[in-house]
Amino acid sequence: MSTRPGTVSKILWHFTGGPLWDNALNKQRTELKPATDAYSALSSILSSCQLRLGSYHEIVKVILKEKRRRNFETKKLEILKDVPTHIKSSAVCCVADIPIQHLSFHSKRYGKIAIGFHRESIIKAGFNPVLYSLENTQLLNSLYQGYSAVSGMCIFEAISAKDDLESKLESLSEVYEHNIDTYDLDSELQTIESSQDEALGSFETLLAYVKSFDDTELDSIYCEREWRSVSNFDFTLDDIAMIVLPKNQEGQNFYEEFCKTTSLPRSVTIACWEDLIEH
């Protein structure tokens, strides 16, 4: 008898039929991709034995409790309350910790074609559970403040100050008829710029493991139990626990076609969606 709670699975799933990303709105579209595209995506994953980083970047939405802004007309400092903003993560590779009995619920958002990997393989590959947070929390406000402080470092101001300092040192050298030794300021600026890029990259990696949601999404976003990686997942067939396909979706029998055209080790279970989930 299993002692695990019903919310934890030994199989982590990657659905191939989720909605496409809307670059203009920075969010997923509501309609699912065609089932034929989902089937092609599954075939591509299996032929390459790689779960690739997609075009998806997490857009972490933050409701800032307080934001200070200078009003250029009145010259006064304004304090704005509950200001919406967002931060973008690096690209992510996703799976979800979903027990089989809950797959039907998630199919409404991601379709009925999925590949399941053994949990041990996912952990070994460096995936990590996502940190979920409501948009208006102190946690996300602190994260935004740190990211904003790093991204707000003005390299152009440093360059201007460097040029001004070099000009003054040159004038002093002429007055005293003696070269004044200085640090290699260009090298110092390059070091600062490189450090800023490295810090921003680290923040974007951290953000890849953060998912924000509002209180209307408790039954959709929050319940997905995502695990993510910022690297491609190169797997072997031994890492696969199960593949699930429907017999009847959009007028096609994907299960039968897959069984006829694909050869996999007997250790990999190929399950019919209707028999496994909708029986």
Tokens representing 262 are 């694909």
Q: Domain limits at 29?
A: 1-56+92-130+209-279
Contacts of 74 (CB under 8 A, 6+ apart): none
Q: Is residue 176 part of a domain?
A: no
Is 191 a member of any domain? Answer: no
* Amino acid letter, 44: S
Residue 270 counted as domain residue: yes
Residue 142 lies in a domain: no
What is the residue-wise DSSP string for 223-238? GG-EEEESS-EE--GG
Domain count within the chain: 1
On the CB side of 45, CA atoms within 13 Å amount to 27
- Amino acid, res. 133: S
- Lowest-confidence segment of 39-53, 107-121, 191-205 by average pLDDT: 191-205
**Average pLDDT in the 7-31 region?**
79
Mean pLDDT over residues 196-207, rounded? 84
Tell me the residue type at 186: D
Q: What whole-number distance in Å separates Cα of residue 152 and Cα of residue 146?
A: 10
pLDDT exceeding 70 applies to what percent of the chain? 78
Closest CA to 58 of 15, 26, 22: 26
Assess if residue 221 is contained within a domain.
Answer: yes
103 lies in some domain: yes
- Per-residue pLDDT averaged across 58-70, rounded? 86
Give the pLDDT mean for 185-206: 73
Percent of the chain clearing pLDDT 90 (strictly above): 43
Across 146-164, average pLDDT = 63
Is 7 a domain residue?
yes
- pLDDT at site 155: 47
What are residue 270's DSSP bridge partners? Answer: 243
Residue 61 CB-density burial (10 A; 0-12 exposed, 13-18 middle, 19+ buried) = buried
Reply yes or no on whether the pLDDT at 206 is more than 60.
yes
Residue 199 lies in a domain: no
**Per-residue pLDDT tens over the stretch 98-129:** 999 889 888 888 899 999 999 999 999 999 99
